[in-house]
């Protein structure tokens, strides 16, 4: 039985990003003033792949999205299947961020959701090149964390969210520190980035 005492959603949000209110529409969608996190759909194929193509150089150093030899359509099919499987099994919560005009800005994912003595997940996100430096990544990650760390039925009820960050990825490191993640000095691991293995530092955000 879970006995942790949680702060209210409003309190959790205030600690993460005081100027970004988050509205949970349903288990499928989470909304901020500018960004809606929703499931990927087949109708997103063209726009999603266009964003990835335009952002390839921007993303590849930190999170190369395609597997070796993978076509764009195969990549999209894998993302679509992963999102659906995550929802069906409860093993992941994978969403795209969408602006009010329908433009896709990137992806915000909770992977490897584990429910045992500790309920936790690994967070991975990316924002397309044209949508950087606008605070949209921070807004999307804040919404994802709010949903992850809030008790059911309005959230996933996780105890902690982890993120592995390449030490050279200064922007992501600043973002997690600003949103209240703490560095977990006990963890440091090499993760595969494309064909290379890169050392990553690990950060954790606990529920209040």
Q: What is the pLDDT of residues 31-88, one digit of tens each?
A: 999 999 999 999 999 999 999 999 999 998 888 899 889 999 999 999 999 999 999 9
Locus of tokens 């050392």: 199
Give yes or no for a cis peptide into 153 (omega within 30° of 0).
yes
Sign of CA dihedral 114, 115, 116, 118: positive
| Mean per-residue pLDDT, 86-94 | 95
Specify the pLDDT at position 24: 65
CATH class of 9-159: alpha beta
Residue 8: pLDDT band (50, 70, 90) is very low
| Mean per-residue pLDDT, 123-146 | 96
Residue with the bigger pLDDT between 149 and 194: it is 149
Residue 190: pLDDT band (50, 70, 90) is low
Residue with the bigger pLDDT between 193 and 202: it is 202
Residue 3: pLDDT band (50, 70, 90) is very low
Residue 200: pLDDT band (50, 70, 90) is confident
pLDDT at 9 over 50: no
For all residues of the chain together, what is the average pLDDT? 86
Specify the pLDDT at position 197: 60
Residue with the bigger pLDDT between 190 and 6: it is 190
How, if at all, do strands 160-165 and 119-127 pair? parallel
pLDDT at 26 over 70: no
Specify the pLDDT at position 188: 56
Neighbours of 188 (CB within 10 A): 13
Distance linking the first and last C-alpha atoms of the chain? 18
Specify the pLDDT at position 191: 52
Specify the pLDDT at position 22: 79
Instruction: Please give the order of strands across the beta sheet that includes 119-127.
Output: 23-24, 30-31, 36-38, 93-98, 104-115, 119-127, 160-165, 196-206, 182-193
Q: What is residue 162's DSSP assignment?
A: E
Specify the pLDDT at position 126: 96
Tokens of 95: 């969403």
């Amino acid at each position: 039985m879970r006995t942790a005492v949680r702060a209210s959603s409003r309190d959790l949000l205030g600690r993460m990003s005081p100027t970004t209110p988050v509205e949970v529409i349903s288990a499928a969608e989470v909304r901020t003033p500018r960004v809606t996190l929703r499931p990927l759909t087949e109708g997103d194929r063209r726009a999603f792949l266009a964003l990835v193509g335009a952002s390839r150089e921007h993303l590849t150093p930190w999170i190369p999205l395609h597997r070796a030899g993978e076509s764009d359509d195969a990549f999209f099919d894998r993302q679509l299947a992963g999102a659906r499987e995550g929802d069906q099994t409860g093993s992941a919560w994978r969403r795209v961020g969408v602006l009010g005009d329908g433009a896709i800005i990137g992806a915000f994912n909770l992977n490897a959701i584990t429910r045992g003595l500790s309920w936790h997940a690994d967070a991975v996100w990316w924002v397309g090149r044209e949508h950087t430096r606008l605070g949209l990544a921070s807004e999307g990650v804040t919404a994802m964390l709010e949903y992850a760390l809030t008790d059911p039925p309005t959230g996933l009820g996780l105890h902690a969210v982890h993120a592995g960050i390449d030490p050279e990825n200064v922007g992501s490191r600043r973002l997690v520190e600003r949103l209240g993640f703490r560095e977990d000095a006990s963890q440091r691991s090499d993760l595969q980035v494309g064909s290379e293995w890169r050392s990553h530092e690990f950060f954790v955000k606990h529920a209040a």
